[in-house]
Chain A
Amino acid sequence: MRALVVDDSRAMRRIVARILTGIGYDVVEAGDGQQALDVLARGPKPHLACIDWNMPVMDGLSLVVRVRENPQWRDITLMMVTTESEHSQIVRALAAGAHEYLIKPFTSDSLREKLDLLGLVPAPTGEVAS
């Protein structure tokens, strides 16, 4: 499975990417929403995108809106990974089309739990999905 990690902090991208790689994802990264759109346009399409909210150039909420506008990308699962913790912000993100919301700081377990809820934990290598 493939994941796109979008965060303007390289440190945070590295943290999220390490967790996702550890559970079997191939990870590509983008430093802002516009870069993420460029990555998506180039393909291949990821199954999951983990998206920070506050970024330069194009923020995460705008990215969610743009992804949802494109019918080719509607099956990408979008998860906000952000410090924006207010209920109103969570509602905005979900209304815009995000599937899940993870507030920083988070643990690797909490990210895994979110993926599990979404059914996006890859099967271990060698295991054939029925």
Chain B
Amino acid sequence: MTTVALDDELVGAVVEQVWESLLGAVARPWAGPQPAGATVPTVRAQVRLSGDWNGLVRLTCDPATAETLAAAMLMSGPDEALPEEDVLDAVGEVVNVVGGNVKGALVGRTSLGLPQVALAARAALAALPALPAVADDAARSLAVPTSRCVLDWHGAPVVVEVLGDDAPDVPDGRQQPDSSSQQAKTRQEKRKP
């Protein structure tokens, strides 16, 4: 099934809309050096698209940036420290909304999975079973980035990528990391008190 071109322009337009509506901010391109660092703690949120087009929409940033993203989304006060669970949930919702709008641009039948969010060192993310093909280097060999935009969020980079993939499909919420140094959540395991 042919899809519309998931190029940087289309994904950038989706991200702009999400940034404006969900975060109340203008999406500005990152002008600094490309994010790197194998051991830097990283928040990674992704949502899978399956069907006539298969792949991931993925957002990566550092934990401090994830906190400020969540604070903007939730309009929390400067003195309000958000629990880590809320931060990861908010970042997951950002990628969920981006993924949903990317899906809306596709032709054909494609379904949107539930978002997965992980907090770990980049090197640890490579082995995270719930997140197929997530290591930066591995991702390039297993899943060609269809689009990648790096945004400036209060002086820190936020990477939003769309990756068409041949990675193994992982059912939502079925696998969890077994390392205590990693945290991964899907909405499947959440329960409202």
Residues of A within 8 A of B73 (CB): 11, 15
Cα of A29 to Cα of B192 in the assembled complex, Å:
8
- Which of the listed residues B18, B89, B113, B173 has the most CB atoms from chain A within 10 Å of its own CB? B89
Complex: chain A residue closest to B113, CB-CB: A54
Partner of B103 from A14, A83, A107 at Cβ < 8 Å: A83
Binary contact track A1-36/B, C-beta < 8 Å → 1, others 0 = 000000011111011001000000000011100010
Partner of B97 from A10, A31, A56, A104 at Cβ < 8 Å: A104
Given A54-B112, A56-B114, A31:B104 Cβ within 8 A: no
Complex: chain B residue closest to A35, CB-CB: B192
Binary contact track B79-109/A, C-beta < 8 Å → 1, others 0 = 0000001100110110011011101100000
Partner of A11 from B18, B93, B104 at Cβ < 8 Å: B93
The yes or no answer to B190 lying at the interface (CB within 8 A) is yes
The yes or no answer to B154 lying at the interface (CB within 8 A) is no
Is A8 in contact with B101, judged by CB distance below 8 angstroms? no
**B-contacting residues, A44-85, CB 8 Å:** 54-56, 82-85
